[in-house]
Structure 1
Amino acid sequence: MYKRILPIALLSAAIWSCSGSEKAGGPVIGVSMLSLQNEFVVNVADEIEKKAGEAGARVIIVDAERSALKQVEQVESFIAQKVDAIILNPCEVEASSPAVEKAKAAGIPVVNVNSETNAVPSAFVGSDDVEAGRIAMRYINEQLKGKGNVLMMHGYMGQAAQIQRDKGAKEILAQNPGLKLLAEQSGQWDRSKAMSLTENWIQSYGPQINAIFAQNDEMGMGAVKALTEAGLKDKVIVVSIDAIPDALAAVKKGTLNATVFQNAAEQGSKAVETALKLIKKEEVEEKVIIPFKLVTE
């Protein structure tokens, strides 16, 4: 899927080398990402690497592989290496919180990017995932003219985006009693798992399905594939979030009805800018919120 996905040790070495390791004495930022098998997360990581290189900083980017425990261990390693700042893309709201607490206790500023923790970081850079859920479900409501059966595909349970996108979507469902939530289940942000889940839903609900809200594009694309193979795509609205290239191409083609654009490049860039300001002990905004935008054909 992503031509540069590497094992953690190789990835770290590669990023050390291409982020300006020749610029000795520059600040070092440790970066732990939720999953480098996820295209959106990879896009954020790419921008972090690019922005850090331009600023003369060095980054160590590691893959938490969806494990909050591994993420905490990675932050402990960053602390031992005495990095100047940490950028955290949290795996879970609660279970990744010790990573934030440990970094702050060690006097190292930590910037949460894209996703939140219960523990309060030095700063947060991301988007309002509650609003993303609202935008997606409002679109479904408009397309169904306020009446129909909806399925909701969750991301990785306990992760901030999953919790908040669920909250936003259900606010709109509560305001529109003509919409019925037939079922909801996790597709774990994963395309193949989402395809299998959609196949199961087709067997269970078949022609009752009017719309699917997938909490990210990877899952949305999996849902589209399953519906297409079952000959149902023209009868079911599918909306997802992130606006990754595959999803944008599918919206243009008309197979994915809509996606909600989340700006990976700006999140990555602002996270590095914020981390560098914190290293210099400059004032920063506690929350940098980057708006979502609906994308249709």
Structure 2
Amino acid sequence: MRYNAIFAALIAATLLAGCNQSSNKESADGGGKKLVIGATMLSMQNEFIVNVSDAMEAKAKEMGVELITVDAERSALKQVEQVESFIGQGVDAIIMNPCEVEASSPAIKLAMDAKIPIINVNSETSAKPTAFVGSDDTESARIAMRYIAEKLGGKGNVLMMHGFMGQAAQIRRDNGAKEILKANPGLKLLAEQTGEWDRAKGMSLTENWIQSYGDKINAIFAQNDEMGMGAVKALEAAGLKGKVLVVSVDAIPDALQAVKKGTLDATVFQNAKEQGGKAIETAVKAAKKEAFEKDVLIPFQLVTKENVGNFLK
């Protein structure tokens, strides 16, 4: 009886091991193989980019995809090297949040030559990727500058704070803002300079402008919220808040709270969650050779004190 019991236990263990091997094999080969996506992001010091990255992570988890995210630290050269590394690792798809329009472009060719789909998220390159997921940055600046023109009654002195020079968002937001300035000859562009998407640099730049132009300043258009929040801080310290209109882009949580309080006049909502989620969805479809949209454009929305409640979590 003892030997019979041992024999039965051995048979059960063998059957169980066979079942486990079979289920493991099915998850690996039977359509259950985990796709691996490599993502290189402009800068994980930028709150909006972090929001896009978080949305990508959440969507990848939901879809059962492995996501490897690296920080390019604003270096296009580093970004190209990161894409080379992903190709060497044999990832199924690459998502790139480009540092620069031109300097990040070689990464597109590298991925294409390796026959790995590459999706640009949030920003563009001159080289055409497999797909683009983002928003029309020209329109965001048109929305912001139209709001400034309306609030100033079409007359006044405006300062413009640029993002990282040579990046698609900076180029397009510059174009959109200047299009509206041209249509409103009563608005004068007093000065323009880069704050490199950075809050501390935005604050320092505004302090310099206050010294140079003082009460001649009627409005500041910051190409992102980080710089806009820096401008607000400098204006508050100089006792000029309420006298100078400040409008920026992205609608990060800090900016939404500032709009609610009235310290930031307006921001333009850019949907980080949609951009991140759609980038993963598009990458997965491209990797599986399924049909996908080559251009996924997510609209911008103006956020003021009147409608900020709709955007606050």
> Fold match, TM over 0.5?
yes
Q: C-alpha separation between the residues in 2 aligned to 1:121 and 1:283?
A: 16
Q: Which runs of 5+ in 1 are unaligned?
A: 1-22
- The alignment status of 1:148 with 2:147, answered yes or no, reads no
Instruction: Report the 3-state secondary structure (helix = DSSP H, G, I; strand = E; otherwise coil) of the residue aligned with 2:80.
Output: helix
- 1:1-297 → structure 2 map (5 Å cutoff): 25-297=33-305
Secondary structure of the 1:234 match is coil
Q: Secondary structure at the match of 2:189?
A: strand
After superposition, what is the alpha-carbon deviation per residue over 1:67-103, rounded to whole angstroms, capped at 9, x for unaligned? 0000000000000000000000000000000011101
| Structure with greater Cα Rg | 2
Q: Which amino acid aligns with 2:252?
A: I
SS of 1:51's equivalent? helix
Distance 2:125 2:185 in 1: 32
- Alpha-carbon offset, residue 115 of structure 1: 0.1
Runs of at least 5 residues in structure 2 that lack an aligned partner in the other structure:
1-26, 306-313
AA aligned opposite 2:78? K
2: distance between equivalents of 1:250 and 1:195?
15
Give 1:282 shift: 1.1
The runs of at least 4 aligned residues of structure 1 exceeding 4 Å deviation read none
| Separation in structure 2 between the aligned mates of residue 231 and residue 101 of structure 1, nearest angstrom | 51
| Corresponding residue pairs, total | 275
Q: Following the alignment from structure 1 to structure 2, what is the Cα–Cα distance between the partners of residues 105 and 206?
A: 54
Query: For the residues of structure 2 that align with 1:283 and 1:153, how far apart are their CA atoms?
Result: 40
User: TM-score when scaled to structure 1?
Assistant: 0.92
Secondary structure of 1:226 counterpart: helix
Counterparts of 1:139 and 1:82 in 2: how far apart (Å)? 47
- In structure 1, distance between residues paired with 2:58 and 2:85: 23
The TM-score with structure 2 as length reference comes to 0.87
| Root mean square deviation of aligned Cα | 0.7
Q: Which residue of 1 aligns with 2:310?
A: none
In structure 2, C-alpha distance between the alignment counterparts of 1:183 and 1:103, rounded to whole Å: 40
Instruction: Give the residue type in structure 2 aligned to 1:97.
Output: S
Q: CA deviation at 1:285?
A: 1.1
The residue aligned with 1:4 is none
Q: Which amino acid aligns with 1:244?
A: I
Distance 2:105 2:294 in 1: 17
The residue matched to 1:87 in structure 2 has which SS?
strand
Q: Give the 3-state SS of the residue equivalent to 1:233 in structure 2.
A: coil
Structure 2: distance between partners of 1:166 and 1:101: 27
CA–CA distance in structure 1, aligned partners of residues 304 and 167 of structure 2: 27
CA distance in 1, matches of 2:233, 2:191: 19
Q: Kindly, what percent of the aligned residue pairs are identical?
A: 75
